[in-house]
């Protein structure tokens, strides 16, 4: 008896589309009702409900199918945990149409190499992101989170606070900000007064 094909697809953001991965999984022979998905979750986040459901659906002799290794895991530790569980449960792994039997020594070696490549790719993406942010900051295009209050509003808030006629909660409501914003404004005013 041959096992079932269980599919798993993931995208990192809610803006991305799962259609291409689902189509590739169906083209690999995975029935649509056996495709489990996660949307808006990164590969480094192991708490993925769709992956948990896919793993739970797998039985001995089944094959877990993914389009690319980085859709399954983005770190060597995560990939190792997943393959260890698949090995323990006697489940094969198909990556982009190539089936790897985690109980076979060659399959185990190939999987570890692929996991290392996926981790390397994730590291490159993080490095490029940091470089891009540094360039944007140097050009003055990355300013961080904008303040809730303008300088004029913050000065007015502090004046009202020192007048003693309003509580912090009232000031927060009056300026439509959180109380923590009021506390920070008062603290900054105290630091500049020194």
Q: Evaluate whether 77 touches 116 at the Cβ level (below 8 Å).
A: no
Q: For residue 147, what are the CA distances in angstroms to 29, 136, 141, 159, 185?
A: 53, 19, 16, 18, 10
Measured distance CA(124)–CA(91) in Å, rounded: 31
Measured distance CA(20)–CA(38) in Å, rounded: 14
DSSP-based helix, strand, coil % in the chain, nearest 5: 55, 10, 30
Among residues 44, 45, 51, 80, which one has the least CA distance to residue 65?
51
The tokens describing 25, both together, are 């999984």
Torsion of CA 19, 24, 27, 32, to 10 degrees: -50
Catalytic residue chosen out of the listed positions 12, 75, 98, 176: 12
Given phi > 0 = left and psi -120 to 50 = alpha, else beta, which region is 20? alpha
Measured distance CA(185)–CA(23) in Å, rounded: 53
12 among known catalytic residues: yes
Active site positions, annotated: 12
């Amino acid at each position: 008896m041959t096992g079932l094909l269980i599919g798993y697809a993931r995208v990192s953001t809610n803006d991305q589309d799962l259609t291409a991965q689902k189509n590739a999984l169906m083209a690999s022979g995975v029935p649509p009702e056996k495709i489990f998905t996660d949307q808006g979750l990164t590969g480094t986040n192991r708490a993925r409900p769709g992956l948990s459901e896919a793993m739970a659906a797998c039985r001995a002799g089944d094959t877990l199918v993914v389009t690319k290794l980085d859709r399954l895991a983005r770190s060597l530790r995560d990939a190792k945990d997943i393959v260890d569980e698949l090995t323990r449960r006697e489940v094969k792994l198909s990556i982009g149409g190539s089936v790897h039997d985690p109980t076979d020594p060659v399959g185990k070696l190939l999987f570890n190499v692929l996991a290392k490549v996926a981790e390397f790719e994730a590291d490159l993406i993080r490095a490029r992101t940091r470089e891009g942010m540094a360039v944007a900051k140097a050009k003055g295009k990355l300013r961080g989170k904008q303040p809730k209050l303008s300088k004029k509003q913050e000065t007015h808030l502090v004046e009202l606070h020192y007048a003693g006629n309003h509580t912090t909660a009232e000031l927060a409501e009056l300026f439509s900000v959180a109380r923590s914003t009021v506390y920070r404004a008062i603290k900054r005013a105290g630091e500049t007064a020194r």
